[in-house]
Amino acid sequence: MNNSSRDISRRRFIASTGLAMTSVCLVPRRLVGDEKDMVTAARKRGEEANVTVQALRRNVSALIGSGGNIAVLPGDDGKLIIDSGYLGTRGKIADALSSLSSDPIKHLVNTHWHFDHTDGNEWMHSAGATITAHENTRKHLSSSTRVEAWNFTFPPSLAGAIPTDVFNGEKTLHLNGATVALKYYGPSHTDGDVSAYFIEADVLHTGDTWWNPRYPFIDYSTGGNIDGMIRAAEANVAQATDKTIVIPGHGPIGNKAQLIEFRDMLAAIRERVAALKEEGKSLNEIVAAKPTAAYDEKWAGSFINGEAFTKLVYKGLGKETEKN
């Protein structure tokens, strides 16, 4: 499935180090160092990231390395791009896009509002893109939005960065000979997550409803919750076939079997944490019981560890966000 990969930036930025997987959602406070917050630190790391192009199927490619994974479909209608990465990686993203074709950038879809998926919105809009997103994504980008877990308040985005083509539910794009189905997950990682499914190519971009293979961040400040994450994981499993190529929000390109594993992990940990809570245990006692222990080796990586994920799950028990 991993077809030709070309490391565009390696040719020009030989000194860059292996920061391809770096994203804000993965940056723990303890690694922030001199930076005053995780967002600033993540943006800074993003400037040093490599951007790798991975051809997938039927002219759909993935750009991996600048914040959230980016999907691209070039063609006569102009390039369609899913998520816009970090602003600091603009040059590397532009080089990668040019390496695919000379078609102008015309269409951008945001899977959700988080800055590691939307910081490039303004420049892509300036280059000619109309921005499509869920209406809650426009809401968060249009107004001052605080994420408690990142200890950061985002100011309203520049006008050109704000999606002008919004929907709530489903929307189908017919571009470059392809059919692309956009679908709202309901509140899950945030309250504005959408999938982008390239029907003919059978390529699914899940946004941050799937992290491969990592515990996911869940943004309770803008409407995310664990039960919604599990529902989104179910929806991804239902959408994919054994042949579907799946682009996660973060991590390498994957497949249905990995989506199933992710869903099962989320559901099992939620069940364990809920059972401990039912027994009357406090959050500290639940953390001490290590309900994620069997999963940490595979999913904890070096960033969102078992304790942090236990707290994210606990936070959502019994106060689920109402589904739109």
CB distance 221 to 36 below 8 Å: no
Question: Residue 114 interacts with Zn ion (CB under 5 A)?
Answer: yes
Of the pair 114, 140, the CB lying nearest Zn ion is at: 114
The token pair that represents 232 in the structure block: 């989104």
**Nearest approach, Cβ of residue 23 and Zn ion (Å):** 8
In Å, how far are 109, 161, 214, 265 from 261, measured between CA atoms? 27, 35, 11, 6
Element containing residue 159 per DSSP (H, E): none
Residue 133 backbone zone (phi > 0: left; psi -120 to 50: alpha; other: beta): beta
User: What is the nearest approach in angstroms of Zn ion to the Cβ of residue 115?
Assistant: 9
How many of the other CB atoms lie within 10 Å of CB of 143? 11
Closest to Zn ion by CB, 78 vs 223, is: 223
Count of residues near Zn ion by CB under 5 A: 2
Shortest distance, CB of residue 304 to Zn ion, whole angstroms?
12
**Does 261 interact with Zn ion (rule: CB under 5 A)?**
no
Q: What is the token pair recorded at 309?
A: 């994920």
Residues of the chain by 3-state class (helix, strand, coil), percent to 5: 40, 20, 40
Q: Which is nearer to Zn ion, 114 or 272 (CB)?
A: 114
Give the interface segment with Zn ion, choosing from 110-118, 192-200, 279-287, 297-305 (CB under 5 A).
110-118
Least separation in angstroms between residue 53's CB and Zn ion is 22
Of residues 7, 119, 191, 208, which one binds Zn ion by CB under 5 A?
A: 208
DSSP state of 87: G
| Element of type H or E holding 297 | helix 293-299
281 CB-near residues (< 8 Å, 6+ apart): 289
- The site map against Zn ion for 134-163 (x = CB under 5 A) is ------------------------------
Using the contact rule CB under 5 A, the part of the chain among 80-88, 107-115, 140-148, 165-173 near Zn ion is: 107-115
Segment near Zn ion (CB under 5 A); pick from 30-38, 98-106, 203-211, 271-279:
203-211
Contact residues toward Zn ion (CB under 5 A) are 114, 208
